[in-house]
């Protein structure tokens, strides 16, 4: 076997494994509790995180929800969940039609490589989510830094 073939094969084997290792955000008990039995669908929400963060103490995050933000149709709240932080519910943001645009930017702490999930609750009672994986080189929260 050529070295090149071997590497390609190893990469192909490693990738699906990494995907399978992650928990489905919909299986997260916190997300289930938030939705209270209502379906949480993928879409409308865009969660942007860097692919790799050198330092988990301050990771820029952007959450945008596709919504007209009118009195009849707006985003009520956005909830951020972490897979590996000691406090999984990182933040909740409450918006309303006065926001004009459903977008939040902030900086979060992440304790290790993981998947971050953002769930949005809309005024019609529906729930939407997006998730993004991130590799964190230096974890936050638990180390003595």
Partner 1 sequence: MAARIQIPREARRGEVIEVRILIQHPMETGYRHDDVGHLIQRNVINVLSCRYNGVEVFRADLSSGISANPYVQFYTVAEASGDLEFTWADDEGQRGSERQAIVVKG
Q: Which is nearer to partner 1, 91 or 122 (CB)?
A: 91
How would DSSP label each residue in 21-55? HSPPGGG-HHHHHHHTTS-EEE-SEEEE--SEEEE
Site mask, partner 1, residues 11-50, x = CB under 8 A?
Answer: ----------------------------------------
Q: How far is the CB of 83 from partner 1 (least distance, A)?
A: 12
Distance CA 128, CA 9 (A): 36
Look at the block and give the residue holding tokens 């596709």.
66
Candidate list 31, 49, 53, 95; residue touching partner 1; CB under 8 A: 95
Coil, helix or strand at residue 85: coil
Binding residues for partner 1, rule: CB under 8 A, are 57-59, 80, 82, 85-87, 89-96, 98-110, 140-142, 144
């Amino acid at each position: 076997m050529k070295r090149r073939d071997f590497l390609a094969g190893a990469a192909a084997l490693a990738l699906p494994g990494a995907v399978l290792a992650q928990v489905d955000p919909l299986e997260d008990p916190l997300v289930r509790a938030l939705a209270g039995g209502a379906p949480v669908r993928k879409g409308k929400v865009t969660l942007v995180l860097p692919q790799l963060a050198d330092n988990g103490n301050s990771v820029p995050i952007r959450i945008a929800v596709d919504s007209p933000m009118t009195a009849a149709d707006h985003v009520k709240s956005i909830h951020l969940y972490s897979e590996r932080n000691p406090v999984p519910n990182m933040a909740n943001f409450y918006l309303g039609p006065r926001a004009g645009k459903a977008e939040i930017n902030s900086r979060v702490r992440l304790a290790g490589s993981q998947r971050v999930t953002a769930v949005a609750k809309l005024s019609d009672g529906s729930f939407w989510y997006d998730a993004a994986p991130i590799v964190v080189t230096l974890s936050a929260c638990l180390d003595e830094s």
